[in-house]
Chains A and B, each alone.
Chain A
Amino acid sequence: KNEVEQSPQNLTAQEGEFITINCSYSVGISALHWLQQHPGGGIVSLFMLSSGKKKHGRLIATINIQEKHSSLHITASHPRDSAVYICAGLDTGNQFYFGTGTSLTVIP
């Protein structure tokens, strides 16, 4: 069993829909990262959070430490949001545990 589980694995949405990607982890972590990987392969760090909620434009990330769960929300989705979204937990020993990613396709 992976230390970090993401759901869904694949997601197809219509442009404008509200999207939620979930990440659950079984290890103790000090921070959680959300990454975006575009089809060309480049990786962008979207958020790093250790508690509460962060917002950047149409993207919102939340984390519940007690429940060991984080969510990434995309409001008013757009085809350019099509990418693989990866969550990664960082433990206190600076070890990273990666989810397997959620492949998102937004259809115009």
Chain B
Amino acid sequence: GQQVMQIPQYQHVQEGEDFTTYCNSSTTLSNIQWYKQRPGGHPVFLIQLVKSGEVKKQKRLTFQFGEAKKNSSLHITATQTTDVGTYFCAGPGDSSYKLIFGSGTRLLVRP
């Protein structure tokens, strides 16, 4: 079945440093979504990418969808302690309504 892999599993950065997480799918995706889960919290939707090569920005966060629509990335510029959490990508499974989540990248930020 369709799999979504994320790397790295874990990253610990100094506040102010940049951070990037990568998401790779075994199949071409019609779209990809990103979620953030704070420690002890639930996943919260960040963004959806649909077009090949699409780039979207939300303040310090930049999201990219690969040209082949099989990979995506999330880059955070100048991390802050409020960025702490686990970032998940998610793509449609064997049907459009079935969202398959990656294993997530856990971000820790040293103040």
Task: Say if A and B assemble together.
Answer: no
Interface residues, chain A, CB within 8 Å of chain B?
Answer: none
